[in-house]
Amino acid sequence: MVDIAVEQVRQVTSPAAITPVIPGFHPDPTICRVGFDYFLATSSFEYFPGAPIFHSRDLVTWDQIGNILTRRSQFAVGDGRPSGGIFGSTLRHHNGEFWFVTTNMSDFGGGHLLLRSKEAAGPWSDPVQIPGTLGIDPDIAWDSDGTCYLTWVGFGPGENESGIVQARLDPDAGRLLESPRKVWQGTGLAYPEGPHLYEAGGCWYLVLAEGGTERGHAVSVSRGSSPAGPFEPHPNNPILSHRSMAAPVQSVGHADLVETVDGDWAAVYLGVRPRGVVPGFHVLGRETYVAGISWDQGWPRFDEDRYQVPVVGSSFIDDFSSDSLHPRWISPGQDPASFTAETPEGLLIRQSQTGNVPILATRVLGHVWGARASVLLSGDEAVRFLLRMDDFHWYGIEASGRQIRVVAQIGPLQQVVATAEIDPAPGPFQLEIACNDSPLAGQPGINTGPDEVTLGFREHGELTTLARMDGRYLSTEVAGGFTGRVVGLAATSGSIIIERFEYNHHG
* pLDDT digits 0-9 by tens, 265-275: 999 999 999 99
Question: In angstroms, rounded to a whole number, what is the distance separating the alpha carbons of residues 197 and 187?
Answer: 17
Residues of the chain with pLDDT under 70: 1-12, 78, 354-355, 424-427, 440-446
Q: Are 222 and 235 in contact (CB under 8 A)?
A: no
User: Which of 132, 103, 63, 78 lies closest to 193 in space, CA to CA?
Assistant: 103
pLDDT at position 293 is 98
pLDDT at position 354 is 67
Q: Which amino acid is it at 36?
A: F
Instruction: Report the predicted TM-score, pTM, of the whole model to 2 decimal places.
Output: 0.95
CA 105 to chain centre: 15
pLDDT at position 15 is 81
3-state SS record for 399-436:
EECCEEEEEEEECCEEEEEEEEECCCCCCCEEEEEEEE
Q: Are strands 403-410 and 413-421 parallel, antiparallel or unpaired?
A: antiparallel
pLDDT digit string, tens, across residues 386-402: 999 999 999 999 998 88
Q: What residues are annotated to the active site?
A: 28, 193
Q: Which residues contact 473 (CB under 8 A, 6 or more apart)?
A: 393, 408, 410, 449, 479
Domains in the chain with CATH codes: 26-310 (2.115.10.20), 316-505 (2.60.120.200)
User: Which of 218, 252, 334, 212 lies closest to 27 in space, CA to CA?
Assistant: 252
Question: In angstroms, rounded to a whole number, what is the distance separating the alpha carbons of residues 249 and 228?
Answer: 34
pLDDT at position 10 is 42
Question: In angstroms, rounded to a whole number, what is the distance separating the alpha carbons of residues 374 and 9?
Answer: 27
CA 418 to chain centre: 32
DSSP string for 350-397:
EPPSSSS---EEEE---SSEEEEEEEE--TT-EEEEEEEEETTEEEEE
